[in-house]
């Protein structure tokens, strides 16, 4: 902060200083120094609390449990041989991919349906449909936990009403996997809806008029006008959601805590159990580091497509 004062104080006389070239020169130099200072807090946050911990995690993951000895890639190799960890990898992929597909589909349908409504009613419906996204997931998952309670489940009460047998929502691996995905879809679908709705509103009406003149049916309009125009937003939303869902923690942690028999653990919750609860920090870092290459591959594929399409549109 003291540096900032020193630098801006001579700035005022510099603005009235007569020599023209020198002034411009100094202005440019002053401007970039000032800009650097303005971004310094951002650099500190990203460098100190994101980049540094990331590399520190790589270092930590190469130590032994007591953190006294360098063991290279032993932790990673050890994890790959563990059956539990193989479950974690599969469960994370199944969880993220199926939840994102379901969220994208529901969001797409809801956005379309909302878009056909008259503007006045749209607001009210949109307001109600976005509620799951607004409630903090750690809070709303408590409500789902209670809905899935083994004895008092209100869902089972309704199932009994129609004569169906009660379901052990969180006690049986298959149902527990379904339950965590369901809650994630419930929480995340409104986000897709709102992104698609914004995208739909940005498609120019002339395109639809032109398509209508060419005799396009509703399906053809969707296939050849709407989807191509929205492709970039769909890609970015899917990428963002894939990262967030893959790295999810709260829903699984509260609902099942990885159980039954570690079948619903995903990277985040397993890393927490290994690293914080069992105190094996290096192994925990290794678990969470497995996420990074997977996310990076997703991102490279999606973003390459996005930049290619943006260039096509500009060119």
Partner 1 sequence: MSGASLTAAGASAPAYQKVGSIRRERRWALIGAYVALAVFVVFFLTPPFHMLVTSLKSSSEIADLAGNPWIVQSPTLENYRDLLHEGNYLLHFRNSVIVTLVVVAITMVISIFAAFALARMRFWGSAVLATGVFLTYLVPETLLFIPLFQIIGGIGLYNNLLAMILIYPTLTVPFCTWIMIGYFSSIPKELDEAALIDGANHFQMLWKIFIPVALPGILAATIFAFTVSWAQFLYPMAFLVSSENMVLTVGIASDLIRGDTFQWGKIMAGALMAAAPPLLVYAFLMDYYIAGLTAGATKG
CA 269 – CA 141 distance, rounded (Å): 15
User: Is residue 9 within the footprint of partner 1 (CB under 8 A)?
Assistant: no
CB of 315 vs partner 1, minimal distance in Å: 19
If 0-12 CB within 10 Å is exposed, 13-18 middle and 19+ buried, where does residue 268 land?
buried
User: Is residue 57 within the footprint of partner 1 (CB under 8 A)?
Assistant: yes
Q: Which residues, 6+ apart, have CB-to-CB distance to 239 below 8 Å?
A: 298, 299, 302, 303
User: Is residue 271 within the footprint of partner 1 (CB under 8 A)?
Assistant: yes
How many other β-carbons are positioned within 10 Å of the β-carbon of residue 302? 18
Per CB under 8 A, the segment of 7-15, 79-87, 167-175, 203-211 that binds partner 1 is 7-15
User: Is residue 160 within the footprint of partner 1 (CB under 8 A)?
Assistant: no
User: Is residue 207 within the footprint of partner 1 (CB under 8 A)?
Assistant: no
**Exposure string for 14-40, b = 16+ CB within 10 A, e = fewer:** eeeeeeeeeeeebeeebeeeeeeeeee
Q: Which residue has the tokens 């079948």?
A: 263
Q: Which of 26, 221, 247, 260 binds partner 1 (CB under 8 A)?
A: 247
CB of 94 vs partner 1, minimal distance in Å: 17
Name the residue among 299, 288, 294, 273 with its Cα closest to residue 76: 288
CA 190 – CA 126 distance, rounded (Å): 9
Q: Which of 5, 68, 116, 206 binds partner 1 (CB under 8 A)?
A: 116
Q: Residue 38 or residue 77: which is nearer to partner 1 going by CB?
A: 38
Per CB under 8 A, the segment of 93-101, 163-171, 187-195, 219-227 that binds partner 1 is 187-195
Q: Which of 113, 164, 227, 313 binds partner 1 (CB under 8 A)?
A: 113
Q: Which of 143, 210, 227, 313 binds partner 1 (CB under 8 A)?
A: 143
Per CB under 8 A, the segment of 72-80, 83-91, 150-158, 166-174 that binds partner 1 is 150-158
Q: Residue 141 or residue 263: which is nearer to partner 1 going by CB?
A: 141
CB of 34 vs partner 1, minimal distance in Å: 6
Per CB under 8 A, the segment of 81-89, 94-102, 165-173, 288-296 that binds partner 1 is 288-296
Q: Which of 75, 91, 184, 237 binds partner 1 (CB under 8 A)?
A: 237
Q: What H or E segment, with its residue span, contains residue 47? A: none
User: Is residue 42 within the footprint of partner 1 (CB under 8 A)?
Assistant: yes
Q: What H or E segment, with its residue span, contains residue 280? A: none
DSSP 164: P
User: Is residue 89 within the footprint of partner 1 (CB under 8 A)?
Assistant: no
CA 177 – CA 179 distance, rounded (Å): 5
User: Is residue 22 within the footprint of partner 1 (CB under 8 A)?
Assistant: no
CA 136 – CA 132 distance, rounded (Å): 8
DSSP 165: P
Q: Which residues, 6+ apart, have CB-to-CB distance to 170 below 8 Å?
A: 145, 148, 150, 176, 179, 255, 256, 259, 260
User: Is residue 94 within the footprint of partner 1 (CB under 8 A)?
Assistant: no
Task: Extract the tokens encoding 246.
Answer: 């893959």
Please work out the total of residues on this chain that contact partner 1, with binding judged by CB under 8 A: 95
User: Is residue 242 within the footprint of partner 1 (CB under 8 A)?
Assistant: no
Of 209-228, binders to partner 1 (CB under 8 A) are: none
User: Is residue 106 within the footprint of partner 1 (CB under 8 A)?
Assistant: yes
């Amino acid at each position: 902060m003291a540096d900032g004062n020193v630098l801006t104080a001579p700035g005022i006389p510099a603005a009235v200083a007569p020599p023209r070239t020198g002034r411009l020169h100094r202005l440019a130099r002053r401007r970039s120094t000032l800009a650097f200072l303005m971004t310094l807090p951002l650099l500190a946050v990203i460098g100190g609390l994101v980049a540094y911990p990331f590399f520190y995690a790589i270092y930590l993951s190469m130590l032994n449990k007591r953190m006294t000895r360098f063991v290279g890639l032993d932790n990673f190799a050890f994890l790959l041989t563990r059956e539990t960890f193989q479950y974690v990898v599969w469960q994370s992929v199944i969880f993220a991919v199926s939840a994102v597909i379901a969220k994208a589909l529901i969001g797409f349908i809801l956005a379309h349906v909302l878009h056909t409504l008259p503007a006045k009613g749209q607001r009210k419906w949109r307001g109600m449909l976005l509620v799951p996204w607004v409630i903090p997931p750690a809070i709303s998952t408590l409500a789902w936990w209670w809905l899935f309670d083994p004895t008092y489940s209100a869902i089972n009460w309704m199932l009994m009403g129609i004569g169906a047998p009660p379901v052990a929502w969180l006690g049986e691996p298959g149902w527990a996997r379904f339950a965590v995905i369901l809650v994630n879809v419930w929480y995340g679908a409104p986000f897709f809806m709102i992104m698609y709705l914004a995208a739909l509103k940005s498609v120019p009406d002339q395109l639809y008029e032109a398509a209508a003149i060419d005799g396009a049916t509703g399906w053809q309009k969707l296939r050849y006008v709407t989807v191509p125009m929205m492709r970039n937003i769909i890609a970015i939303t899917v990428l963002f959601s894939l990262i967030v869902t893959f790295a999810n923690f709260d829903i699984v942690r509260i609902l099942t805590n990885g159980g039954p028999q570690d079948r619903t653990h995903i990277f985040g919750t397993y890393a927490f159990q290994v690293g914080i609860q069992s105190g094996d920090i290096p192994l925990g870092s290794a678990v969470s580091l497995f996420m990074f290459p997977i996310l990076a591959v997703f991102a490279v594929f999606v973003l390459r497509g996005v930049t290619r399409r943006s260039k096509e549109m500009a060119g």
